[in-house]
């Protein structure tokens, strides 16, 4: 299905009601967002267009694995109203939840895959492919041929929940394997079902992830956005992945629709890493680059929430909020501590909260102001102080023993490095290398 009919389906019957044939497919080439063909830079002043009297909150996650009903229940119990489930093997949309079956992509692999470094179009008949070397499989694997779909994965899925495509993409040819990207709002799909390689598809040349250079893959994610002006790409768990800052900056500079980094990832609790990546965030912001912060459970289910601020509860409005930076992060969510307004006119910042909290203003200089047991914080940037402070972001700690912390997105003051929206550069280079925007060879 091409983008136009996909969008018509979204507008007409709602994302939750896609029939199997209407499941989102990789879309056609990205359309420019402006008449000039330039993609606007990442929004340097989030919240500017929000009507705080009428705004609605939507709790969600840009990175949450969900492989059974119990996991879905845990997200729903936390009040998630917008699903962009992010699974892999393959890295393909898990939606609609109402009709999605286990092993769906084992028999409905309808997107390209990389074979020995070449991109081949779907559909891929894995029963036939794996059947070629069935004699090399362990008996219990061989017994699974021919492949069939399993049970409904989410037998108690709610009716009409908002959902948009997403997946966790990995295995880029020019980067180490710990680079993982999510793409909320993108129907791009990559890799195969063969996690662990037990069906020997990897051994026989099929990439189990993207299998292409990361920027080629990012371009494909962007080209497959279901709304050109919504959603984008997230750089996941920088500390767990041991990313050098320069990698993050290079990807942010590649395209404004690379939205930012995971500042909090609940899963990454190993001794060598840190759930909280605020250090990466502040170093990046200090360069003048806008970089949105995502707060996600990943596999953890319990903590990490993106609280989207939307004029109406629709898929498009939610994805648009991601693009604009119109959300705040919460470790727990559930309305324990909420921002009730975040206003910045370029000079004056005023933030209000629904309960007294320990409130901190963070800038390029560190913690530049704080208030205890406060429901608001104000700050004025005098003329000429833009470079000194660089950016403003606010962090507030709940005082009720809940250990809730909420985080605004950054509001930028300093000049950033000059960046070019490379997705809008001449595509002839890729075309000559065998790449084309519609996913064909
Ligand atoms: Zn993950």
Mean pLDDT of 374-392: 97
Same domain, residue pair 308 and 402 = no
pLDDT at 273 over 50: yes
Q: Tell me, in angstroms, the distance from the centre of ligand 1 to residue 68's CA.
A: 15
What does the DSSP 8-state code read for residue 111? S
* Residue after which a domain boundary falls, among 335, 352, 387: 335
Distance (Å) from CA 192 to ligand 1 centroid: 16
φ, ψ of residue 231 to 5 degrees: the values are: 70, -170
Residue 88 CA to ligand 1 center (angstroms) comes to 8
Residue linked to tokens 């990897």: 202
Ligand 1 centroid distance, CA of 298 (Å): 5
Nearest alpha-carbon partner for 392 in 365, 411, 406: 411
Q: How confident is the model at residue 105 (pLDDT cuts 50, 70, 90)?
A: very high
pLDDT greater than 80 at residue 185: yes
CA–centroid distance, 85 to ligand 1, in Å, is: 10
- CA 288–ligand 1 middle distance (angstroms): 28
Confidence of residue 215 (pLDDT cuts 50, 70, 90): very high
C-alpha 232 to ligand 1 mean position (Å):
16
CA dist 212 and 82 (Å) reads 30
- Is residue 39 in some structural domain? no
Taking the centre of ligand 1 as the mean of its atom positions, its distance from the CA of residue 91, in whole angstroms, is: 10
Distance 86 CA to ligand 1 centre (A): 7
Query: Would 4 be classed as within a structural domain?
Result: no
Pull the structure tokens for residue 129: 């492919």
Distance 199 CA to ligand 1 centre (A): 23
DSSP H stretches of helix in 206-357: 214-223, 245-254, 278-286, 315-324
> Above 60 in pLDDT, residue 335?
yes
Neighbour tally for 270: CB within 10 Å? 10
Ligand 1: centre distance to CA 284 (Å): 22
Burial readout 79-106 (b: 16 or more C-beta within 10 A, e: otherwise): ebbbbbbbbbbbbbbbbbbbbbbebbbb
Q: What is the pTM of this model?
A: 0.88
For ligand 1, the distance from its centroid to the CA atom of residue 268, given in whole angstroms, is 10
Ligand 1 centre to CA of 345 (Å) is 36
Tally of domains within the chain: 2
Which backbone phi and psi does 342 adopt, to 5 degrees? -140, 105
> Whole domain around residue 156: which residue ranges?
45-335
Residues 342 and 328 in one domain: no
pLDDT tens sequence across 275-306: 889 999 999 999 999 999 999 999 988 999 99
Cα 240 to middle of ligand 1, angstroms: 11
Spacing, Cα 167 to ligand 1 middle (Å): 9
Q: Are 307 and 59 in contact (CB under 8 A)?
A: yes
103: in domain:
yes
Among the candidates 293, 315, 335, a domain finishes at 335
297 CA to centre of ligand 1 in angstroms: 9
Q: Which of the four pLDDT bands, split at 50, 70 and 90, describes residue 269?
A: low
Whether residue 15 is contained in a domain is answered as no
* 165 in the same domain as 234: yes
Q: Are residues 204 and 308 in the same domain?
A: yes
Q: What is the pLDDT of residues 37-87, one digit of tens each?
A: 578 999 999 999 999 999 999 999 999 999 999 999 999 999 999 999 999
Among the candidates 335, 370, 391, a domain finishes at 335
Domain CATH for 381: 2.60.40.10
What mean pLDDT comes out for the span 352-370?
A: 98
128 & 246 share domain: yes
Q: Give domain status of residue 166, yes or no.
A: yes
Q: Are residues 166 and 309 in the same domain?
A: yes
Residue 56 belongs to some domain of the structure: yes
Average pLDDT, the chain: 88
19-29 pLDDT, tens digit each: 333 444 434 33
CA–CA distance, 227 with 3 (Å, rounded to integer): 9
Q: List b or e across 22-41, with b for residues whose CB sees 16 or more CB atoms inside 10 angstroms.
A: bbbbbbeebeebeeeeebee
Inside any domain, residue 431 = no
67 lies in the same domain as 53? yes
The tokens describing 156, both together, are: 């108690």
One domain, residues 171 and 263: yes
Q: Is 196 exposed, middle or buried (0-12, 13-18, 19+ CB in 10 A)?
A: exposed
Q: Of all residues in the chain, what percent carry a pLDDT higher than 70?
A: 85
Q: How far away, in angstroms, is 20 Cα from ligand 1 center?
A: 25
Q: Do the domain assignments include residue 439?
A: no
Shared-domain flag, residues 87 and 187 = yes
Q: What is the CATH number of the domain that holds 203?
A: 3.20.20.140
Do 244 and 182 belong together in one domain?
Answer: yes
Per-residue pLDDT tens over the stretch 221-266: 999 999 999 999 999 999 989 899 999 999 999 999 999 999 999 8
Ligand 1 centroid to Cα of residue 170, in Å, is 10
Judgement on whether residues 246 and 377 belong to the same structural domain of the protein: no
For residue 286, the CA-to-ligand 1 centroid distance in Å is 27
**For residue 342, is pLDDT > 80?**
yes
pLDDT at 13 over 80: no
pLDDT score for 209: 96
Tell me, yes or no, whether 382 and 291 share the same domain. Answer: no
């Amino acid at each position: 299905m091409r983008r136009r009919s996909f969008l018509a389906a979204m507008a007409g019957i709602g994302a939750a009601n896609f029939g199997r044939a209407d499941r989102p497919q990789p879309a056609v080439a990205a359309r420019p967002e402006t008449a000039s063909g330039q993609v606007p830079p990442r929004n340097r002043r989030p919240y500017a267009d929000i009507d705080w009297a009428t705004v609605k909150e939507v709790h969600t996650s840009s990175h949450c694995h969900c492989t059974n009903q119990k996991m879905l229940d845990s997200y729903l119990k936390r009040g998630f109203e917008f699903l962009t489930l992010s699974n892999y093997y393959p890295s393909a949309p898990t939606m609609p939840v109402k009709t999605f079956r286990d092993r769906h992509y084992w028999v409905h692999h309808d997107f390209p895959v990389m074979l020995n470094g070449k991109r081949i179009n779907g559909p891929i008949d894995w029963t036939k492919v794996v059947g070629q070397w069935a004699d090399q499989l362990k008996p219990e694997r061989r017994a699974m041929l021919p492949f069939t779909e399993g049970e409904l994965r989410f037998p108690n899925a709610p009716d009409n929940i908002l959902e948009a495509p997403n997946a966790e993409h990995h295995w880029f040819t020019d980067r180490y394997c710990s680079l993982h990207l999510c793409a909320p709002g993108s129907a791009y799909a990559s890799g195969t079902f063969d996690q662990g390689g037990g069906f020997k598809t990897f051994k026989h040349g099929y990439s189990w992830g993207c299998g292409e250079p990361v920027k080629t893959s990012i371009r494909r994610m962007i080209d497959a956005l279901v709304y050109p002006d919504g959603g984008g790409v997230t750089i996941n768990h920088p500390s767990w992945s041991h990313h050098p800052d320069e990698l993050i900056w290079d990807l942010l500079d590649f395209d404004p629709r690379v939205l930012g980094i995971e500042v909090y990832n609940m899963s990454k609790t190993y001794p060598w890493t840190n759930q909280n990546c605020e250090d990466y965030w502040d170093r990046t912001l200090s360069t003048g680059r806008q970089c949105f912060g995502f707060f996600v459970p990943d596999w953890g289910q319990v903590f990490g929430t993106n609280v989207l601020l939307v004029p109406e509860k629709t898929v498009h409005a939610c994805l648009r909020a991601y693009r604009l930076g119109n959300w705040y992060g919460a470790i727990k969510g559930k309305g324990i501590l909420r921002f009730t307004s975040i206003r910045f006119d370029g000079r004056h910042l005023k933030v209000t909260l629904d309960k007294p909290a320990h409130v901190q203003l963070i800038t390029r200089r560190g913690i530049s102001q704080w208030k205890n047991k406060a429901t608001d914080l104000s700050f004025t940037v005098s003329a000429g102080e833009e470079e000194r402070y660089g950016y403003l972001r606010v962090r507030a700690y709940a005082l009720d023993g809940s250990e809730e912390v909420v985080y605004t997105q950054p509001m930028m003051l300093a000049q950033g490095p000059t960046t070019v929206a490379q997705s809008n550069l001449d595509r002839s280079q890729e075309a000559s290398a065998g790449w084309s925007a519609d996913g064909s060879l």
